[in-house]
A and B are shown apart, each in its own frame.
Chain A
């Protein structure tokens, strides 16, 4: 009988220090990268939106004001922390963690780099050990991300409830209803990706998007990407779906009663989620760390090794989406709550379901060797029928509203 007391089940046999060291290194590095990326995102958003509004934006702390977030953070350390007397103290203190920790956890399953070219499958060799540039690669990776994003609702919901104040409560009820509404559409558009990839693991999904024509955004036919993008924006409570903190109506929303670093945790979580969601979009639809390649032509960054190049590609792609998020904020006016719910339930969910079934049917048809033209024509016809049905339903419900004398 062996007496190997070990927290790590891999240590039951011979103790292998290298894998353990790599894991530890990964945890620290990914964590640090996540935190720094979040702080830079805050700066990036302020700077870009300032540019879009013809302002200068932060420019005093550090070069280009890049240290502004740090300065703000330090300021928050010295702020008095108030816990309202009518609050539920325990839940009030718990809620920031429930927002902060899940925000980090999603980062664990995103492939952050690695060489996916040829037969490499994303594996890199560090210290003579084959590993992925990814914290964990469970076979159900993408479901893990969805599960974490559904847990993130708790932080917002409980923060609002435990404050013992009306604005936060209203804000949190709104927020959680919004998040659950769009979570359904989010899941269904991910299902389309899973359908074409045939795997739930994030590294597997990336590995199948080797060239530009194989990127899931094209293979799934763009619609799931748009649905995912809209649903993700709503899930993040970012403009134009930021009804949660509609200042004119709800003051600050669910975190009105929070001050000092407890507030900072919510704030960090929000931006962290934006970064991870962008990374998730890139992973699902735009090939993650894969380089851009058309046919046999691959855009290669010289000098840098292939494994590290993946990280750079990921970074570039994520930056595009971060920019789009800021762009949304600068250009789109906020939705009204009824419009928000209508968009979620009457457009996105039916559309994503319909598209998913259609995609499935098309793939089955392809495998069974049906005539390609017949399949295409049938697809287009079904699409048209579905679209007109949906439009008809919208029209009817609009007419009903008018009849009932609703103003809008």
Chain B
């Protein structure tokens, strides 16, 4: 068990090292770079003209449906992985188990396709 935790600690250290190097780079740069902000420099960039309206703008709801479909397939993938490693033991019945699960989820994709939400234009 400690061997197991240890391998994750290494990963944590590694992530921490990446974070520290990132901050170190930014820190060094903070000492070296000029800092002379003017109000023009701090405007948000809109191809050279003064920015119009709010910086935030509403986007298409279509994006949302894709994100939702992704959640479905992500959950599916999570179940598929342990199953795939053990398929040899589960045999034919295991195949049917997964096929039913996948088929139901594919129905969702087919429904989305039929209703035209996968269509961009």
Direct contact of A and B (CB under 8 A): yes
Instruction: Compute how far the CA of A345 lies from the CA of B47 in the bound complex, rounded to whole angstroms.
Output: 33
A78 at the interface (CB under 8 A from B): yes
Residue B25 at the chain A interface, CB threshold 8 Å: yes
Q: How large is the interface on B (under 10, 10 to 19, 20 to 34, 35 or more residues)?
A: 35 or more
Known contacts A163-B55, A187-B74, A191-B80, A135 near B14 by CB under 8 Å? yes
Per DSSP, are chain A's interface residues mostly helix, strand or loop, or mixed? helix
Contact of A136 among B8, B17, B41, B94 (CB under 8 A): B8
Which bucket holds chain A's interface residue count? 35 or more
Q: What's the Cα separation between A349 and B108 when bound, in Å?
A: 13
Pick the contact of A82: B19, B41, B81, B99 (CB < 8 A).
Answer: B41
Contacts A200-B81, A349-B73; A85 near B42 (Cβ below 8 A): yes
- For A97, list chain B residues within 8 Å (CB): 19, 22-23
Contact with A along B102-121 (1 / 0, CB 8 A): 10001001000100101111
Which parts of A166-217 form the interface with B (CB within 8 Å)?
166-167, 169-170, 173, 176-177, 180-181, 183-184, 187-188, 191, 194-195, 198-200
Q: A8-B6, A84-B42 are in contact. Are A345 and B69 (CB under 8 A)?
A: yes
Distance in angstroms from A56 CB to nearest chain B CB is 30
Contact A257 B15, beta carbon cutoff 8 Å: no
Chain A residues within CB distance 8 Å of chain B: 7-10, 12, 23, 26-28, 30-31, 35, 76-87, 96-97, 100-101, 103-105, 107-108, 135-138, 143-144, 146, 150, 163-167, 169-170, 173, 176-177, 180-181, 183-184, 187-188, 191, 194-195, 198-200, 251, 256-257, 260-262, 264-265, 337-338, 341-342, 345-346, 349-350, 353, 356-357, 360-361, 363-364, 367-368, 393, 397, 400-401, 406, 408
Q: Are B91 and A10 in contact (CB under 8 A)?
A: no
